[in-house]
Amino acid sequence: MLRRRRLLLFSLVALAGIVPAAPALAKTVPGSPPFRVVILDHMAGWQLRQFARHGAVGLLVPGTGPTTNRRQALAQLVRGVRENAYLGGVPSGPPLVSATAATGTPSRARTIIVTLPPKSGTPVPNDKRYYVVVLGGGFHGLLVSQTTRIPGLVSIVDIAPTALGHQRGSLTSTPAPHAIATLKTLNAQIHANNRLKLPALIILACLALLLAAVRPRAALTLVPAALLASIGLGAAEVTNEVTILAVLIVASVGGGLWLARVCRTDGRLLLLFLGVILLHLYLFAARPEWVALTPLGPTQNSRFWGIGNQLETLLLAPLLAGAAIAARKFGALGFAAFGVLGLFLMTDNRFGSDGGGAIVLGVALAFLGARMLRLGTRGFLMLLGIAAAIVLKVVSSNLSAAGPDHFRSAFGRGFSGLWAVIENRVPLSYLPALHNWPLVMPLALWFLITFAVGLYVARHRPTRDFVLTLGLAIVASLLVNDSAMYELTGGVAVLASLVRFVPAPAVPVTVLSLVRAALPRVPAPAAVEVADD
C-alpha cells in the first residue's frame, strides 16, 4: 500500500510539471487530443538530451516570413495555419488546440514540447530555430515533417495536426543514433546557406559576365555547373561559409570551362541540360534537402523545399537553351517535349511546386517558341494558353493527393483563393521591394544595363530572341514573385550565359520529314565512266 501511495504521489508531481501556469490564447476543441502541447521558455542542453532518449526531437521554425514574435508564433501554432509576417502574422479562424506554459519539466506522457520566441511585442528576425520534442506515441529519433521535407526541421503549422492526430500534416519520426548532433549540423547548415543566398548569386552573375566576354560557351555551361556544385554542397552538409563560397566559385568556373570543352556540339549541350533537369526531378522526390539546404535553395522560413526564386531564375538558362536546341534537332515536337518537362518540374507538388516559376517559364517558353517557330502574336497567345492548360492540369491532379501542397491555399478555395493571392502581391512583393530600395535599385540598374548591352551584342536573331525572352521573363517574375533582389541578380547571370549563344535555326518537323526519317535510305547509284573511242 505504501509503495502504491508513493507511486501515485510521484505521478502527481510529474503531472504538475505540465499544468498551465497561465491561460493560453487558444481553447481546446471538444474532446481530448492525443497529445498535450506544452511551451517551455528555455530548453537546456541536458533537458534536450534527456527528451531525446525518450522521444523525437527537431528544430522548429516559429513563423512565416522575415520576422516573427511570440504572439504570431502562438497564433499559427494553435490554428495550424501559416500567415506571412508581411500580412500580420496572425491567421484568422478558431484555435484547434491549446498550448500551455509549463512550470517544471514535463513528464514522458504523450506531450509535444516547444520553445518559442521571447515574450516581447517587437518582431524579431525569423532566422532562429527553436527546439521541439514529441514524447510518447511511438516517436523516436528525428522528427519528420511533410511541410518541410527536411528530416529534423519542423514548421510551426505541424504542431496542431500532430496534437489532434490528423493524418494530413502530422509529424512522424525516423531513427537517428545521433539526433542532437544531427540537429546542430542542420542548424549550422541552414544558418550558413541563408546568409550566402544573395552574395552567391551576385558572385555567379559576375562570373557569368566575365566568361561571356572571354569564353561565351563556358558562360552557358557555368549555370549548370553552379547548380551541380550547389547540390554537392547540400549533399556534403557543408556548414562553413568560406568553404561554401570557395567550392561554389571554383566548381562553377572550373566546371563551366570543362563542360564547355566536353559539350562542343549542341547535341551534347542538350544532354547536359536534360541531365540537370532530370537530376533535379529525382532529388526533389528522393532527397529534397540536398537541393534545399544550399546557397541556391529556398529560404528556410517560408518555402522549405522545391524551387525558390533563386533556383527558378537560374533554371531558365538550361530550360530555354535546351528548348531551343530541341527545336533545332526535332522541330516543334522537340520544343514542346522539353517545355512540358520544364513546366512539370516547376509545377508538380512532388518536385518544384513553384506557381510563380510556372508562370514565368510559361510566358518565356511561349514567347521564345513564337519567335523561333515564326508563329507571330497569335502563336504566342496559343502557346501561352497551352502552357496555362498544362500547369492547371498538373495543379488540379495534385490537389486531390494527401499531404501539404504549396498550391492548396490558392486553388483549394476557388476564385477567392486566387483573388487573395493577387491582392497579396502588394504587401508580399511590391512594398518589401520599395522598402529595400537601397539594394533593389542598384540591382535593377545592373539588370537593365546588362539587358541593353545584350540587345546591342546580340546581332543574330536567335540570340536576340533569348535576350528579349529573358527580359520578358524577369518582368513577369517581378510581377508574380516576392524576391526582387534574387530575380534581378539571377536575371543578370542568365542573360550573361545566353547573350552569345547562337543555336542553329529551328528545323520544323513535317509529316514528310518523319516519313523520310523512318524509311531506309537507298544508296545512290555509282557513276559509270564511258571511255572515249
Instruction: Count CA atoms within 13 Å of residue 389 on its CB side.
Output: 7
> What is the predicted pLDDT for the residue at 10?
34
> What is the predicted pLDDT for the residue at 17?
35
> What is the predicted pLDDT for the residue at 316?
96
- Classified as helix, coil or strand, 113 is strand
Alpha helices in 215-315 (DSSP H): 216-236, 241-262, 266-286, 288-292, 309-314
Give the closest residue to 75 by CA, choosing from 115, 112, 134, 26.
26
Amino acid in the structure at residue 190: I
Q: Collect the ranges in the chain with pLDDT lower than 70.
A: 1-33, 103-108, 167, 401-417, 504-533
> What is the predicted pLDDT for the residue at 7?
37
What is the C-alpha to C-alpha distance for residues 199 and 295, in angstroms, rounded to an integer?
Answer: 9
Residue 55 near residue 134, CB atoms below 8 Å: yes
Please give the grid coordinates belonging to residue 439.
539594394
HEC sequence for 62-106: CCECCEECHHHHHHHHHHCCCCEHHHCCCCCCCCCCCEEECCCCC
Query: What does the pLDDT look like over 376-431, one tens digit per residue?
Result: 899 999 999 999 999 988 888 877 766 665 666 666 566 666 777 788 888 888 99
What is the C-alpha to C-alpha distance for residues 396 and 398, in angstroms, rounded to an integer?
Answer: 5
Please give the grid coordinates belonging to residue 344.
512539370
- Classified as helix, coil or strand, 138 is coil
Residue spans per domain, the chain: 13-187, 196-401+413-515
Please give the grid coordinates belonging to residue 259.
563542360
What is the C-alpha to C-alpha distance for residues 384 and 370, in angstroms, rounded to an integer?
Answer: 10
What is the C-alpha to C-alpha distance for residues 190 and 239, in angstroms, rounded to an integer?
Answer: 8
